[in-house]
Amino acid sequence: MRKKIVAGNWKMNKTLREAMDFAVSFQERSDELPGDVEVIIAPPSLYLASMEMIKEPAYRLASQNCSHHSYGAFTGEISAAMLADMNVGYSLVGHSERRTYFHETDELLAKKLDACFLHGVVPVFCCGEHLAEREAKRHFVTVLHQLEHALFHLSPSQMSRVIIAYEPVWAIGTGVTASTEQAQEMHAFIRSSIAGHFGRETADAVRILYGGSVNASNSAELFGCDDVDGGLVGGASLKVGDFITIVQSASRG
Ligand code: PGA
């Protein structure tokens, strides 16, 4: 059975003090966390080192992005090698804000995935369609294109370790979520596309998270869908209480 994941994406929010207050308070309340859900937090990169110092943290850390290069003259970039060196085990790859504002293409994201695997960092690959694509009924074509161009060069064993986050762009930060039918339908489509290329066993191992306006009131319903293996949570991951409620809602127990 696939272990559920709830990942928090803080984006460019919080001061260091606020980040550490969150980490300490999350840790103090860790007995409220279910044992069958993996918790990942992606703070701004500057805070990764401090958040890594919490003793036996109840969360694992992710970067919000990483370079496709391992080292060198790439001002402003952070590599997967550096993340691995700092015990940061995960990195978001291809969040829609990176695709939109930083013009990241699936071809570039394919290289970022390779860099992650080279250095032992687990990629959380984000995909999803814009509103106009859904309205034109091109959402499946769009997502399949993203999967094919960024992921389909991987080996089956690498693929089985990728965490996919399906985040319809129209649902991110808007307060509008996909319905459970829309989420389940797309997640099942993603899984069957992976099965078609890599085989059923690989597809069954891949965790597919839903993202886009997940909050403490709607998470249980979304995470209850058969092919939804948890969530990638933006705004609602910034408050300890809300985030804990969302993690609890992913538990099967
Ligand atoms: P949101 O963001 O939960 O604030 O909609 C999700 C994301 O961008 O990962």
Residue 251, pLDDT score: 97
DSSP state of 103: -
Ligand 1 near 129 CB (within 6 A): no
Ligand 1 near 64 CB (within 6 A): no
| Residue 167 a catalytic site member | yes
| Residue 38 a catalytic site member | no
Kindly tell me if the per-residue pLDDT of 134 is higher than 90: yes
Q: Name which of 28, 73, 23 is nearest 43 in CA terms.
A: 23
User: Which atom of ligand 1 is nearest to 213's Cα?
Assistant: 5
Residue minimizing CA distance to atom 9 of ligand 1: 234
Question: Number of helices and strands (H, E) in the chain?
Answer: 12, 8
Kindly tell me if the per-residue pLDDT of 252 is higher than 90: no
Residue 113: which residues within 8 A CB-CB, separation 6 or more? 93, 123, 125, 150, 151, 154, 158, 162
Residue 3 gets the label, from left (phi > 0), alpha (psi -120 to 50) or beta, of: beta
For residue 174, name the pLDDT band (cuts at 50, 70, 90).
Answer: very high
What is the three-class DSSP state of 122? strand
Residue with tokens 């300890």: 240
Supply φ then ψ for residue 37, to 5 degrees: -130, 130
Kindly tell me if the per-residue pLDDT of 156 is higher than 90: yes
User: Which atom of ligand 1 is nearest to 171's Cα?
Assistant: 5
Residue 1, pLDDT score: 87
